[in-house]
Structure 1
Amino acid sequence: MESTAAAAMALAPVLLVTNDDGIDAPGLRFLVEQLVAARRYRVLVCAPDSDKSGVSHCITWQRALFCKRVDISGATAFGVSGTPADCTSLGISGKLFDGWFLIWWVLSGINIGSNCGYHVIYSGTVAGAREAFLYGIPAIAMSYDWVKGQSSVNDLKVFAEVCMPLINTILTEIKNGTYPQGSFLNVDVPTDAAHHKGYKITKQGKYMAARISWEQTVYKKPAVERYQTANIDVDGEKDSELVTPAENDLLFKAAIVARSSDEVEEEEDMDRKSLVDGYITVTPLGALSHTDPEAIPYFKACVTPG
């Protein structure tokens, strides 16, 4: 009986999981736990070995990446000293995992913090999915609308549970050859994940919760600090990556400046508006930047010789 089950798993669709909060982040662990429990997938994990939130689609060219096996029950996992895009690229390359696997699908998340509107540009979670899309592999970026003081780590487990029907449905579409190849998906789950209003197909809006400002600071000796994502503290430790500056160097640290809540777009089919209204938003994305059609005649006139 065990040999039959093992043979079935050997033929199961192979999913690659990554994220930007790091391989120890609870969102990734809960997602993998649900995928393994479903007994329908062979689960591979290739994720950053530390928090890489907000790195966008950064890739590593000038140095080698360190890869270390990580024990995650039911999965084959590696923590990598790179970005989410690095992890996806390496994971699907066929060079990291023993044997050769045809990766059916890439799941990036569960991110702590929503990724709607312009935040898609900054998001390492979205980049992990986009990198797969660039190689023709279906992908989903998955993020939870974490609210400090209201959300808890258990909400990430609920997220994983409520998204399994979507994951299973899309896998069926991939198996049947009916899944569209022209986009990847960006999924955001509302703060009250247990009482969501259902799935809603949305468009990327112009929402931006905060701007980055800069504050001059002083050098502090590197110290061991608690592992944390961009939004919550999580048990564990990591080494600071501060480098000792020269005597006359100026030091500046990024600061997040919140924007007022009334700057959320009002259109009903936009991602952030729908998420705030309690829906699980499913936003198809592409990799191309779309030019404003009204700008084309203006710039043609500017660059065309008189």
Structure 2
Amino acid sequence: MATSVKNNSLPPSLISNLNQVLLSRQQHTIDHQSTNSSSLPSHSRNVDEPDCSKPLLLITNCEGIDSPGLIFLVQALLSDARFTLHVCAPQSDKSVAGHSLTVQETVAVCLVEMSSATAFEVSGTPVDCVSLALSGALFSWSKPVLVISGINRGSSCGRNMFYSGAVAAAREALICGVPSLCLSFDWKKDVSSESDLKNAADLCLPLISAAVRDIERGKFPESCLLNIEIPSSPLANKGFKLTRQSLWRSPLSWKAVSANRHPAAGQYLSNQQSLGIKLAQLSRDASAAGAARRLNSHRKNVEIESVGIAGKFNGQQTAKKYFRLELLEETEKADDNLDFKAVEDGYVAVTPLSLSSTDQSKIETEVSSWISAALGREQRN
């Protein structure tokens, strides 16, 4: 018996039409995806794709991502067009955070607009910013060429460096094995202006460029960070000077303040007044005997909180006082080679800070030689 095979092939014209429809839909999908991709901000697409043709720098600070010192530094580096910049800075002022980390708490990170730099603001400390940025959890790259903390207003000279969130950020980078600079400007109240910060940023460009070049060549001092203090008149500076860390610090002045100068205290007193009114209203509706019993019972169980009042208290009472810390601007006579004295004299003080106190003289000699050679080459270029 012969077996016949039924021909199920479609007409050629129909096949051609179907192919055209499929190709049209495929092209529409590609165009739609391309449009969506191009509509995203450039920094959103390139967060994980840094420009590898230029040295990558990580910028942070202690005063917050909106501080003028950081913005002027980023603008100066971008206008120089030699570097790719990533910024990771605190959301608010953390100037005296020291080397503190946020542990067992959530840190919020938000992408922010900052020219052509990829920038994030972090709810934590300056050390959080550097630690997070270098961890690989936020950026895809492993390590930048250089970490720069600044430009921060106020002194990080002497023992102030132990309080400084700016120095701590640079120190954290050094701990992670990345060379770092800390840039601080000797801000004078009622004298300095934001234009001085812009001049300070321009002043630091040759040093930053020299540092990046010599890091890539393996000639940059690796065992320390450089704490750079810029004098209050950047344009009138006397040059860069190698200095030693002094024992000076800003004098601390603790002052008692009244409750009405403390927001929390004012809120507390307001709550107490409101509570008193409510109790008075209740007492009018109660019998005299019942009110007396409730009052006696209340006195036995409630702890009394006193705001800013000195005296003797029994075991159930708690005294609450309020104080405010102020840093005084006082100086003292010192060796010309110490950091804060050099800044006062108009020099840009460059102080090497290492993680160990051993071989300090060797480090100073190495940094001194590098400054002379690096800045000499940069000026010739």
Q: For the superposition of Structure 1 and Structure 2, which TM-score range results when normalised by the shorter chain?
A: 0.7 to 0.9
1:87 paired residue among 129, 132, 141: 129
Contact 1:189 1:275 in 2 (8 A): yes
Structure 1 residue matching 2:238: 3-state secondary structure = coil
Q: TM-score, normalised by structure 1?
A: 0.80
Task: Pick closer, same or farther for the CA change 1:60–1:274 going to 2, 3 Å.
Answer: same
Match of residue 73 from structure 1: 115
TM normalised by structure 2 equals: 0.65
Over 3 Å counting, the alpha-carbon distance change for 1:44 and 1:12 in structure 2 is same
- Within-5 A mapping of 1:209-288: 209-218=250-259, 219-220=262-263, 247=305, 248=318, 250-256=320-326, 258=328, 260-261=330-331, 263-265=332-334, 267-288=335-356
Q: Relative to 1, partners in 2 of residues 1:260 and 1:143: Cα closer, same or farther, differing over 3 Å?
A: closer
Work out whether 1:14 is the aligned partner of 2:56.
yes
Query: How far apart are the structure 2 equivalents of 1:121 and 1:198?
Result: 26
Q: How does 1:1-306 map to 2 (within 5 A)?
A: 9-97=51-139, 99-218=140-259, 219-220=262-263, 247=305, 248=318, 250-256=320-326, 258=328, 260-261=330-331, 263-265=332-334, 267-288=335-356
**Closer, same or farther: CA 183–215 of 1 in aligned 2, 3 Å:** same
Mean CA deviation greater in 209-218 or 50-59: 209-218
Aligned residues: 260
**C-alpha spacing 1:125/1:264, structure 2 compared with 1 (3 Å):** farther
* Maintained 8 Å contact 2:50/2:84: no
- Given the superposition, is the C-alpha separation of residues 42 and 277 from structure 1 closer, same or farther in structure 2, using an over 3 Å criterion? same
Question: What code does the residue aligned with 2:346 have?
Answer: G
Letter in 1 for 2:86: L
Q: Gaps (5+ residues) in structure 2?
A: 1-45, 267-303, 306-317, 359-381
Deviation at 1:186? Answer: 0.1
Judged with a 3 Å threshold, the aligned counterparts in structure 2 of structure 1 residues 154 and 250 are, in CA distance, closer, same or farther, namely same
Q: Summarize deviations over 1:117-137 as a string: whole Å, max 9, x none.
A: 111111000001000000110
Tell me the residue number matched to 2:312.
Answer: none
Could you list the per-position Cα deviations for residues 26-49 of structure 1 after superposition, in whole angstroms to 9, with x for gaps in the alignment?
A: 000000111111111110000000
Q: Which residue of 1 aligns with 2:5?
A: none
In structure 2, what residue type is equivalent to 1:163? C
Contact conserved, 1:17 with 1:106, CA < 8 A, in 2? yes
Q: Is the 8 A contact 1:201 1:283 kept in 2?
A: yes
Q: 1:24 to 1:259 in 2, by over 3 A?
A: closer
Q: Distance in 2 between matches of 1:260 and 1:21?
A: 22
Cα distance in 1 for partners of 2:52, 2:355 equals 33
After superposition, give the CA deviation of every residue in 1:41-72 in whole Å (9 maximum; x if it has no partner).
Answer: 11000000000111110111020100011100
Bigger fraction of residues in helix: 2
Partner of 1:297: none
Call closer, same or farther: CA 1:62–1:251 in 2, change over 3 Å.
farther
- Identity over aligned pairs, percent: 40
Q: Is the 8 A contact 1:264 1:272 kept in 2?
A: no
Deviation at 1:253, TM superposition (A): 3.1
Secondary structure in structure 1 of the residue aligned to 2:343 = helix
- Specify whether residues 249 and 44 from structure 1 end up closer, same or farther in structure 2 by C-alpha distance, changes over 3 A only: farther
Cα distance between partner residues in 1 of 2:168 and 2:155: 14
Matching residue's letter, 2:354: G
Q: Secondary structure at the match of 1:164?
A: helix
Query: Which range moves more in the overlay, 8-17 or 154-163?
Result: 8-17
Letter in 1 for 2:146: W
Structure-2 change in CA distance of 1:76 and 1:8 (3 Å):
closer
Q: Matched residue of 2:254: which SS?
A: strand
Task: Assess, with a 3 A threshold, how the Cα gap between structure 1 residues 29 and 182 changes in structure 2: closer, same or farther.
Answer: same
Please give the per-residue CA displacement for 1:106-154, whole angstroms capped at 9, x wherever unaligned: 0001001121111111100000100000011000110000001110011
**Structure 2 counterpart of 1:50, which letter?**
S
Moved more, 125-134 or 201-210: 201-210
Aligned-pair Cα RMSD in Å: 2.2
